């Protein structure tokens, strides 16, 4: 695997799948018993692995894929975004590689940090390891609209979204546990 400027090549054999590495929402593996299941069901079906989050030319590759070739319009909305970031980041499964992926192509985050998770963090469920480290990246409205163009913004310049970002949580051994998307808008 190699992530650098303008590419992040990963062998297809390294892709994580829902069956082997189920999606974690917050502190638990998301199952049909959760109230959020209906919101995420379609995204879980649509993105069973990271390849489905990429542009069409990368989706059918059988050898190596470029994890920077994200089909950003398909990731619009919290469920799609969280599932795809989870798929990409569990495929990389290393804080340094996720760091490199974040900085490999514009728009670059306005805010970025990584370090230990400070208490108090409620206990994880489903036998998941405790959150030990966190990587946080955040973009302002301009970064958001560069990645997710919107007709209203394009025509009028009005920015309903003020910013967005993600937090990636890691276990003590450095493996990815979960991904949370954050965002703020004009109306919230």
186 within 8 A of 99, measured Cβ to Cβ: no
Find the helix packing angle between 95-103 and 78-92, rounded to 10°: 120
24-79 pLDDT, tens digit per residue, is 988 788 888 888 888 899 999 999 999 999 999 999 898 999 999 999 888 888 89
Name which of 7-21, 41-55, 107-121 the model is least confident about.
107-121
In percent, the amount of the chain with pLDDT more than 70 equals 81
């Amino acid at each position: 695997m190699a992530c650098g400027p303008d590419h992040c090549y990963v062998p297809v054999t390294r892709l994580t799948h829902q069956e082997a590495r189920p999606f974690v929402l917050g502190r638990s593996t998301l199952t049909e018993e959760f109230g959020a299941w209906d919101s995420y069901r379609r995204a879980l079906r649509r993105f069973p692995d990271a390849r489905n989050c990429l542009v069409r030319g990368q989706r059918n590759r059988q050898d190596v894929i470029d994890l920077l070739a994200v089909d950003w319009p398909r990731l619009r909305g919290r469920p799609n975004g969280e599932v795809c970031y989870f798929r990409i980041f569990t495929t990389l499964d290393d804080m340094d590689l996720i760091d490199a992926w974040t900085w490999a192509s514009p728009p670059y985050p306005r805010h970025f940090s990584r370090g230990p998770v400070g208490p108090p963090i409620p206990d994880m469920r489903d036998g998941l390891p405790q959150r030990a480290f966190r990587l946080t990246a955040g973009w302002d409205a301009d970064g958001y609209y560069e990645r997710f163009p919107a007709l209203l913004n394009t025509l009028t310049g009005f920015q309903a979204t003020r910013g967005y970002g993600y937090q990636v949580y890691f276990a003590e051994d450095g493996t990815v546990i979960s991904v949370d998307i954050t965002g703020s808008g004009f109306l919230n």
